[in-house]
Structure 1
Amino acid sequence: MTALRRDLRRLGVLLSTLVAAACVTAGPSLTREPECSDVAVIFARGTNEAPGVGEVGQAFVDALRSRLPGRTLDVYGVNYPASYDFATGVQGVIDTSHRIEATAAACPQSRIVLGGYSQGAAVTGYTLIDSLPPGFVLPEGLTGPMPQTVAPHVAAVVMFGTPKPWVVNLLASQAPPMSIGPDYTAKMLQLCALRDPICDTGGLDRAAHHAYLDNGMIGEGADFAARAI
């Protein structure tokens, strides 16, 4: 084997190792094919949380799993920046809608549970809107509200600390109203901690926005979802 061929082979091995390592370390936010489980959880993390489902999302998944003994769960963390630039949240809306449609098509027997925390709750809500203001131009990658045919596959929607409209408009100008369609509102639970300034009108306690892990609402959301499955 010539030195050149030997070096190229070593380079190929190195690249393969790096790609494999990237796939492992990047976590569940990487797009992957749905696994056909009894329950498919799709959760959008909050602002500045690490890729995956985030702390609130993981606590919700763990609580839901404990309430569904014998059932299998596939968990997907919505792939989007979750940065302080709320305008990039549209990437999460695109990813969530694609994931819902892909799961419904590939795994029609799976019961889909949607969830989100903080900015992630807004991502989930905007994924489920059923109407847009006249003349509103959809961002590239979106074709409009999701097909009604996927709605029956969604068993429950649980949102923690959903930003109030003025918060969304402050951080993402020209955002349309979050008009969630009737196919989903009956399956939806929105949880807001008392005095949470992000979701509670008049709320002024910044610490309240980080209280969901300890205030019992994770369990309340998991109970709601488990009953709906």
Structure 2
Amino acid sequence: MNVRRAKSVLGSVILAPAALLAGIAGAPAAQAQPCPDIEVIFARGTGADPGLGFVGDAFVDALRSKVGGRSVGAYAVNYPAGFDFDKSAPAGAADAAGRVQWMADNCPATRLVLGGMSQGAGVIDLITVDPQPLGHYTPTPLPAHLSDHIAAIAVFGNPLRDVKGGGPLPAMSSTYGPRSIDMCALDDLFCSKGLSLPAHFAYVDNGMVAQAADFVAGKL
């Protein structure tokens, strides 16, 4: 796969409004009680095993070390994280949106943090970025009544930075921009004009996960 084809593939994320609404209507798996003070809702990257992914795990661990005695729960967005992005990404966006709605209904005092790596970053973009064309995709942001539940957003290796009309999440969301951090490693193949695949997997080692956790802790 050549570089431009690879970027095109990782940039191929689209959120169907019907899928989003379906996700909000459905109830994710029950949250253990009592409700945590903070919950991180994180979408793993393409091809990662179900769970938070290595970046998500490191981010949650770093955040827990920075919020004192407050409890931090974690929810792994339930989606395929596969290479058929036109199916995979909408499923992730619907599940993430559904989890936000469920937490707002059942744990209204819990502060929510949204996060994602690679395709997972695109999933989070698609429920937070303003509804404007990004390439040939149009995000559908979360309903306005959920905004106050979301304290911060942190994404890594975001492919929607590198599509026509795209850019870092803070510049693309009038609602969540000041609460967002969008980390793109130098020369990352998928979020910049760079050519480095190793850079795309370097967010823990290069300190950007810790930097994002500092930012998020400051919003909590």
Once superposed, what is the RMSD of the aligned Cα atoms?
Answer: 2.6
Query: Residue 180 of structure 1: CA displacement?
Result: 4.5
Query: Residue 61 of structure 1: CA displacement?
Result: 0.3
> Which structure exhibits the higher relative contact order, with contacts defined as CA atoms closer than 8 Å and separated by 6 or more residues?
2
SS of the residue corresponding to residue 74 of structure 1 reads strand
1:146 paired with 2:123, answer no
TM-score using structure 1 length: 0.74
Pick closer, same or farther for the CA change 1:189–1:166 going to 2, 3 Å.
closer
Q: Residue 167 of structure 1 contacts residue 198 of structure 1 at CA under 8 Å; is this kept in 2? A: no
Q: Residue 126 of structure 2 contacts residue 141 of structure 2 at CA under 8 Å; is this kept in 1? A: no
1:32 to 19, 29, 32: 29
Q: Rg larger in 1 or in 2?
A: 1
SS of the residue corresponding to residue 39 of structure 2 reads strand
Question: Residues of 2 paired with 1:64 and 1:197: CA distance?
Answer: 27
Equivalent residues, number: 186
Gaps of 5+ in 1: 1-29, 169-177
Q: Residue 126 of structure 1 contacts residue 180 of structure 1 at CA under 8 Å; is this kept in 2? A: no
SS of the residue corresponding to residue 97 of structure 2 reads helix
Question: Residues of 1 paired with 2:179 and 2:89: CA distance?
Answer: 23
Query: Residue 186 of structure 1: CA displacement?
Result: 1.1
Question: Residues of 2 paired with 1:39 and 1:111: CA distance?
Answer: 5
Question: Residues of 2 paired with 1:206 and 1:106: CA distance?
Answer: 40
Q: Residue 59 of structure 2 contacts residue 209 of structure 2 at CA under 8 Å; is this kept in 1? A: yes
Pick closer, same or farther for the CA change 1:212–1:137 going to 2, 3 Å.
closer
Q: Counterpart in 2 of 1:173?
A: none
TM-score using structure 2 length: 0.77
1:157 paired with 2:153, answer yes
Name the structure where helix makes up a greater proportion of residues.
1
Question: Residues of 2 paired with 1:160 and 1:116: CA distance?
Answer: 6
